[in-house]
Amino acid sequence: MTKRKKSLELRVIFDTSAIYTGSASDLLRKEILDIIVNYSKLPDLEINWYLPEIVVEERRFQMNKRGKEFLPQIIKLEKLLGHNLNITDDIIQTRVNETIQRQINNNRIQEIKIDPDKINWKQLISNSTNRVPPFEDGEKEKGFRDALIIECVQHLIDESPTTSNICRLAFLSSDSLLLDAARDRFGHCANFRLCGTIEELTSLINILTSEIKEELINSISETASNIFFVKEDNSSLYYKEGIRKTISEKFSSELNTLPESATRREEGTWWINKPGFVKKVGQRIYWKSIVVIDSKTFKTTYSAPTTQPSFDIFNKPQTNTIQDIFSKIASGIKEETVKEGKSKIEVLWSVTLTTSKQLKNPKVEDINFVETVWK
């Protein structure tokens, strides 16, 4: 009987910046949950998901803080209803703990516990005082939690197989200092991969589950990036196919949606991420490029001027003309920023790979709105 070949294992580690939702009810952001659901049962790739202990504790703090922000509104509601809802700090903390544990269990996420005995504290202290990443170079030292995340990643690397065709590790973070620290610490590991975006992670997964070699994708990815977008180059696909106009028209409703209490939304910078590999069908290679649109939302507020216009009913106003009055009223009208957000749109496109490894005939396949995340 032929022995079944063991599938490759990929161990994915998430940083706080990769999973943060700003929500009191969700441990993981929707995109991360989608990846876990969509990629957990692949025939030739076993994926295990990890959260460093410090990341779990940081999200616990964030969720508790967010939950407690609702307490003043709950108190107002109790007064309105004339009924005590009995929601306290302790109840919020208990429910947050239950939510975190339930979501960890439901998604089969493993925690990487910190082992103090395995940490080189002398080196960590030196890195802190000398502002070595992930410590920030500023007046105040920042980065201790991130340094502990690096130690958790080290723990997992130490207990993982080192052979690339048996086990691979990927660390997902959008924190540039943390990525620099991880690159410096783990760059020598042949089976370790840094991912600065979710698309880089999904691209790696798609490569590992396809017949195409990772080396080939790496060798043509820069060319593919330039085919899709080069700033002010009208021959690149982004300009040639009028992708910005298509997005603005197709997703007008989504791009004009306002969060609670906002009255106006202002569009900011458009960012074009490097493409990620999706699949290969025959000689056609499919890529996904993410477009991220910054935005700000505002609300109008009014506060009465400190000096009120005065009137003389017997004489014509000398200093308080109608224009003066309206000017003083207008001075009390102000516009405040409510929230800043990022809208994400994915562009699926393809290109032909010739026998001489050239990329020809690029074509847009589909454009989809993903989500808007408000800070």
Q: Give tens-digit pLDDT for 309-320.
A: 555 555 555 555
- Average pLDDT in the 176-194 region? 93
H or E segment to which residue 169 belongs? strand 167-172
| pLDDT for 320 | 59
| pLDDT for 324 | 63
| Residue 114 pLDDT exceeds 80 | yes
Judged on CB neighbours under 10 Å (0-12, 13-18, 19+), 357 is exposed
- Average pLDDT in the 40-55 region? 90
| Residue 119 pLDDT exceeds 90 | yes
| pLDDT for 46 | 92
User: Which range has the worst mean pLDDT, 183-197, 294-308, 343-357?
Assistant: 294-308
d(CA 155, CA 50): 12
- Average pLDDT in the 282-294 region? 94
Mean pLDDT of the chain: 87
d(CA 153, CA 172): 11
Domains of the chain, start order: 1-209 (3.40.50), 213-375 (no CATH)
| pLDDT for 3 | 43
- Average pLDDT in the 292-315 region? 72
Are the beta carbons of 57 and 93 closer than 8 angstroms?
Answer: no
d(CA 19, CA 6): 30
| pLDDT for 2 | 42
| pLDDT for 117 | 92
| pLDDT for 89 | 81
| pLDDT for 238 | 97
Are the beta carbons of 143 and 136 closer than 8 angstroms?
Answer: yes
Rounded to two decimals, what is the model's pTM?
Answer: 0.71
Contacts of 34 (CB under 8 A, 6+ apart): none
- Average pLDDT in the 332-361 region? 90
Sign of dihedral through CA atoms 260, 370, 203, 235? negative
Contacts of 269 (CB under 8 A, 6+ apart): 293, 294
| Residue 325 pLDDT exceeds 80 | no
Could you read off the pLDDT of 132-163 as tens digits, one per residue? 999 988 777 689 999 999 999 999 999 999 99
H or E segment to which residue 193 belongs? strand 192-195
Could you read off the pLDDT of 60-93 as tens digits, one per residue? 998 888 888 878 787 777 777 777 777 788 888 8
348 confidence band (pLDDT: 50, 70, 90): very high
d(CA 199, CA 374): 20
d(CA 339, CA 261): 10
| pLDDT for 316 | 52
| pLDDT for 1 | 40
Question: How many other C-beta atoms lie within 10 A of the C-beta of residue 137?
Answer: 12
Judged on CB neighbours under 10 Å (0-12, 13-18, 19+), 19 is buried
d(CA 129, CA 125): 6
| pLDDT for 148 | 95
| Residue 332 pLDDT exceeds 90 | no
| Residue 103 pLDDT exceeds 70 | yes
Distance (Å) of CA 91 to CA 24, 64, 66, 87, 364: 13, 10, 14, 6, 51
CA 82 to chain centre: 41
Give SS3 for 229.
Answer: coil
